[in-house]
Structure 1
Amino acid sequence: MIIPAVFTSPGPVLFQLGPITLRWYGLLIALAVLIGLNLSSWLAKQRNLESGLISDLLPILVLAAIIGARFYYVAFEWRSYQNSWWDVFAIWQGGIAIHGALIGGTISVILFCRWRQVSFWDLLDVLVPSVILGQTIGRWGNFFNSEAFGVPTQLPWKLFIPYSSRPPIFADSEFFHPTFLYESIWNLAIFIFLMTLFQWGKSGRIPLPSGALSCMYLLCYSLGRVWIEGLRIDPLCLGGVPPFCDGGLRIAQLMSLSLLLLAGFGLFWLYGKRKSLPDPGLRTPGTS
Structure 2
Amino acid sequence: MLSLIINPVAFRLGSLSVKWYGIIMAVAIILAVAMAINEGKKRQVSPDDFVDLLLWGVPLGYVGARLYYVIFEWGYYSQHPDQIIAIWNGGVAIYGGLLAGLVVLLVFCYKRMLPPFLILDIVAPGVMAAQILGRWGNFVNQEAHGARTTLSFLQSLHLPEFIIQQMKVNGVYYQPTFLYELFFNLIGLILILSLRHRKHLFKQGEVFMTYVMWYAVVRFFVEGMRTDSLYIFGTIRVSQALSIILFLVMLGLLIYRRVKVKPKWYLDGSGLKYPYTRN
User: Who is 2:167 aligned against?
Assistant: 160
* Native 8 Å contact 2:37 2:46 kept in 1: no
Instruction: Show structure 2 runs of 5+ residues with no match.
Output: 158-163, 265-279
Q: Match of 1:42? A: 38
TM superposition score normalised by structure 1: 0.83
Q: Which of residues 4, 9, 25 is equivalent to 1:13? A: 9
Aligned to 1:222: 216
Code of the residue aligned with 2:246 in structure 1: it is L
SS for the counterpart of 2:228 is coil
Higher helix share: 2
Structure 2 residue matching 1:14: 3-state secondary structure: strand
CA distance in 2, matches of 1:45, 1:139: 28
TM-fit CA distance, 1:276: 3.4
Distance (whole Å) between structure 1 residues aligned to residue 261 and residue 66 of structure 2: 38
Aligned counterparts of 2:73 and 2:260: Cα–Cα separation in 1: 41
Instruction: Find runs of 4+ consecutive structure 1 residues off by over 3 angstroms.
Output: 270-274
Question: Is the CA contact 1:197–1:213 (under 8 Å) kept in the aligned structure 2?
Answer: no
Q: Which has the higher contact order (CA 8 A, sep 6+)?
A: 2
**Deviation readout 1:224-269 (Å, 9 max, x if unpaired):** 00100000011000022xxxxxxx1000000000011011112212
Identity %: 33
Q: Any conservation in 2 of the 1:133–1:191 contact (CA below 8 Å)?
A: yes
Tell me the matched-pair count: 252
Superposition deviation, residue 273 in structure 1: 4.7
Q: Following the alignment from structure 2 to structure 1, what is the Cα–Cα distance between the partners of residues 184 and 9?
A: 26
Shift of 1:8: 5.8
Q: Evaluate the alpha carbon distance shift between residue 275 and residue 92 of structure 1 in structure 2; reply closer, same or farther with a 3 A threshold.
A: same
User: Are residues 1:30 and 2:19 paired?
Assistant: no
For residues 54 and 13 of structure 2, the distance between their equivalents in structure 1, rounded to whole angstroms, comes to 30
Q: Deviations over 1:67-112 (max 9, x none)?
A: 1000000000112211221211111111111110111001101111
State the SS of the aligned residue for 2:197: helix
| Distance (Å, rounded) in 2 between the aligned partners of 1:111 and 1:272 | 26
Letter of the structure 2 residue corresponding to residue 187 of structure 1? N
For residue 239 of structure 2, the aligned residue among 252, 259, 262 is: 252
> Match of 1:73?
69
Q: Shift of the alpha carbon at 1:153?
A: 1.7
> RMSD between aligned alpha carbons?
1.9
Contact 1:226 1:252 in 2 (8 A): yes
Gap regions ≥5 residues in structure 1: 1-6, 164-172, 241-247, 278-288
Q: Is the 8 A contact 1:8 1:160 kept in 2?
A: no
Match of 2:87 in 1: 91
Distance in 2 separating the partners of 1:51 and 1:12: 34
Aligned positions of 1:224-239 closer than 5 A: 224-239=218-233
Task: Report the Cα distance in structure 1 between the residues aligned to 2:149 and 2:261, rounded to whole angstroms.
Answer: 47
- The CA deviation string for residues 172-218 of structure 1, in whole angstroms up to 9 with x for no partner, is x7111100111111221121112112222xxx2x3321101011001
User: SS of the residue aligned with 1:192?
Assistant: helix
